Structure 1
Amino acid sequence: MISVIIPTEGAEPPVVATLAALVPGAAAGVIRDVVLVDRPGSSAIERVADVAGCQFLKFDGSRAAALAAGAKQTRSPWLMFLHAGSVLDTGWIDEAAQFMQAVSLSGHQRAGVFRYARSPYDHAGIRNGVKSLARFISGPSSDQGLLISRDHYERLGGYAPAARRAEAKLLAKLGRAGRATLRTRIFVAGRPH
């Protein structure tokens, strides 16, 4: 079973889009719980969590500290970290289940990241082309999500709350051999310019 942690940054529409893509996983029994982590003072996200049946965690600190705090709230053997606004393509449930089973049976700790797909509604410009090239050269980025066993996450030290670029540092700790790029696409909405 998977616990999903989503830092929300106070914006309701992206959170709702991400949660909608997770509903089939909850219905299939793959997702045990979802934790929405937001800064204090945002009642909109607290309402979304209440309506969607998610846990809500108020947290005032860095993004990495929020991710670490969200992970501590959960109990599932697998963790999935997603950015608000990231939408998993259909078929993610079967692939995630197969990946978790393969890792468990192999005895080799690996984490999975989803295959990046730019939102079809995002403006396709030079900036996105450069970002795609950078992603190809340097490897996956944190907006591609992360599926990792709790044991492996804790052995790696998780997200270091005080570290700059903690999400990128955790991906770097995994290394190329320690992560798999899953076939399932994750649509990532562009940030406003």
Structure 2
Amino acid sequence: MLSVIIPTEGDERTAVATLAALVPGAAAGIVKEVLLVDRAKDGAKSGVIERVADVAGCRFMAFDGTRAAALAAGARQARSPWLMFLHAGAVLDNGWIDETTQFIQLVALSGRPRAGIFRYARSPYADTRLRDSFKFVARMLTGPTAEQGLLIARDHYEQLGGYRPDARRSEARLLRQLGRSSRTMLRSRIMVA
């Protein structure tokens, strides 16, 4: 039902945290595959992510390019009709499985293309800084950011042109292109460190 694409930077800690939150979704049958697209510049770091992917039962792709190009490459390799894009280190709330399933069913029944974005939640373990206050205000004014994840049907993603590897700020561009009318803020939270 769902392919999850996670771009990594060679840091296994962030990838493992995100993967751990996806395990219940795989057990419930909603997550069919996870692709770890590693953009590590150092081959040794890439080997660590490849081992993490092997142990976790994920597909691994070594990639040299921008994050948007990595996301686009992962989407091309994904096999499911629904795509979920998550940043490494983002951890989904416990209720995400039921809500994601309901969202996919509602979109299918309505026949109207929509994308889901998870509600932002700062990690309770993160140090709060002045910069975080500015980020909060910016998020309120400009809307969701790419670090909040994206749940979208493959055909809707392709219709919008997906992540363009050559475009600046491709993730933000796709969110703007969705607009308020075709995106839903899901109740499930995503904790971002």
The two structures have a TM-score, normalised by structure 2, of 0.97
CA distance in structure 2 between the partners assigned to 1:153 and 1:39 by the alignment: 22
Paired amino acid for 2:171 = E
Cα distance between partner residues in 2 of 1:165 and 1:12: 25
Match of 2:102 in 1: 98
1:57 maps to 2:61: yes
CA distance, structure 2, for counterparts of residue 182 and residue 9 of structure 1 = 27
Q: For 1:82-130, what per-residue CA distance to the aligned partner results, in whole angstroms no more than 9, with x for missing partners? A: 0000000001000000000001100110000000000101111211111
Contact persistence 2:7–2:39 (CA under 8 A) = no
Amino acid of the structure 2 residue aligned with 1:20: A
> Match of 2:74, SS?
helix
Is the counterpart of residue 10 in structure 1 residue 35 in structure 2? no
Q: Distance in 2 between matches of 1:167 and 1:108?
A: 22
Name the TM-score, length of structure 1 as normaliser: 0.97
Matches of residues 9-28 of structure 1 in structure 2 within 5 Å?
Answer: 9-28=9-28
> Are 2:70 and 1:71 equivalent residues in the alignment?
no
When the two chains are superposed, the root-mean-square deviation of aligned CA atoms in Å is 0.7
- After superposing on structure 2, the runs of 4+ consecutive aligned residues of structure 1 that deviate more than 4 Å are none
> 1:116 aligns to what SS in structure 2?
strand
Distance in 2, Cα, partners of 1:75 & 1:85: 23
Deviation at 1:74, TM superposition (A): 1.0
* Structure 2 Cα separation of the partners of residues 146 and 70 of structure 1: 14
3-state secondary structure, aligned to 1:181: strand
Query: Residue 37 of structure 2 aligns with which residue?
Result: 37
- The within-5 A match list for 1:37-186 is 37-39=37-39, 41=43, 42-186=46-190
- Name stretches of at least 5 consecutive residues in structure 2 with no aligned partner: none
* Counterparts of 1:185 and 1:66, CA distance in 2: 24
In structure 1, the gaps of 5 or more residues are none
1:167 & 1:27 partners in 2: Cα distance?
Answer: 29
1:39 positional shift: 2.7
Number of positions where the alignment pairs a residue of Structure 1 with one of Structure 2: 189
